Amino acid sequence: MYALVFYCLLIALASLAGGWIPVVIRLTHRRIALIISAVAGFMLGIGLLLLLPEALAYAETGPVMRYLVAGFLVMFFIERFFCFHHHDVPGRDETPAHGPGCGHDATVNHDHTLTWSGAAVGLTLHSIIAGIALGASIRADGADRHGAGLAMFLMIIMHKPFDSMTLGTLMAIGGWSTKWRHAVNLAFALAVPAGAALFFLGASMQPDQTFVAYALAFSAGTFLCIATSDLLPELQFHHHDRIKLSAALVIGMALAWLIASTHVHDHDHGPKPVDQSEATSKPHEYEHGPDHDH
């Protein structure tokens, strides 16, 4: 629990600092593209190499995969109707990274038809789901492990400042005062802790370990959706820096693999729940002793 409080505090601070990113760091299109590539690779790796295997260690394959698909679809529709991510430098019309043949318009802003409130709804739902994933990962770790929780924390804290920067940029474009932007950013910073609290509230009402498994599988589905339908499409049309962007993607996946490889599943998850239909369909010879005579 102490780890969860510590992670949530750092994530909230990262969210609050997101609005200061353009001031502290000179963000270019190339730098943002490299960060997005690494985050996409990390998300893919965490979803496939850590969260999904961890969920399968707690529950049967069928239900786990259904929750994986559900997580993918929920996040897909959130992004479909709240197209809120902004993965470019605010206020820049052109960047040196865009050559004449890159096949990607640097001036395209997918948020131009949306108000900041629409972005706030989408980003808040996104953050609450991330908080649920963080809570489930820490619960899966137990008292003596930190691999899944640490991986989830790293994924969130790498992505959260850009979400906060997106929201602040849209409010600034809409003419909102600095005071209001800070107030909304403060409320938004609490979304991940709220999601983690929701998970533990649900877990306390249903102590069965399958709740953790389904939360992990659902979270894995959301990360696969974000990586494949949001982050990677931002990069696939970039003809510039192909090697650098590909290397960043591989580095992100390698980091996820490194964390997953240290998270060995030798802790006791308890027996998996078995469907009654599967139990009754077992061959009848399992019910007999080794010396039973037919």
Q: Where are the domains of the chain?
A: 2-86+115-264
Cα 168 off chain centre by: 21
pLDDT digits (tens, 9 = 90+) for 12-48: 999 888 866 655 666 677 877 888 888 888 889 988 9
Residue whose C-alpha is closest to residue 4's, from 283, 168, 198: 198
pLDDT number for residue 266: 44
**Cα(51)–Cα(60) distance, integer angstroms:** 14
pLDDT digits (tens, 9 = 90+) for 92-130: 444 444 443 333 343 334 443 346 777 788 888 888 988
Q: Are 155 and 133 in contact (CB under 8 A)?
A: no
**Cα(281)–Cα(277) distance, integer angstroms:** 6
**Cα(132)–Cα(126) distance, integer angstroms:** 10
pLDDT digits (tens, 9 = 90+) for 59-86: 899 999 999 999 999 988 887 876 555 5
pLDDT digits (tens, 9 = 90+) for 229-277: 877 876 777 677 788 888 988 998 998 898 888 765 444 444 555 544 4
- pTM metric for this prediction: 0.69
Would you say residue 283 has pLDDT above 80? no
pLDDT number for residue 8: 92
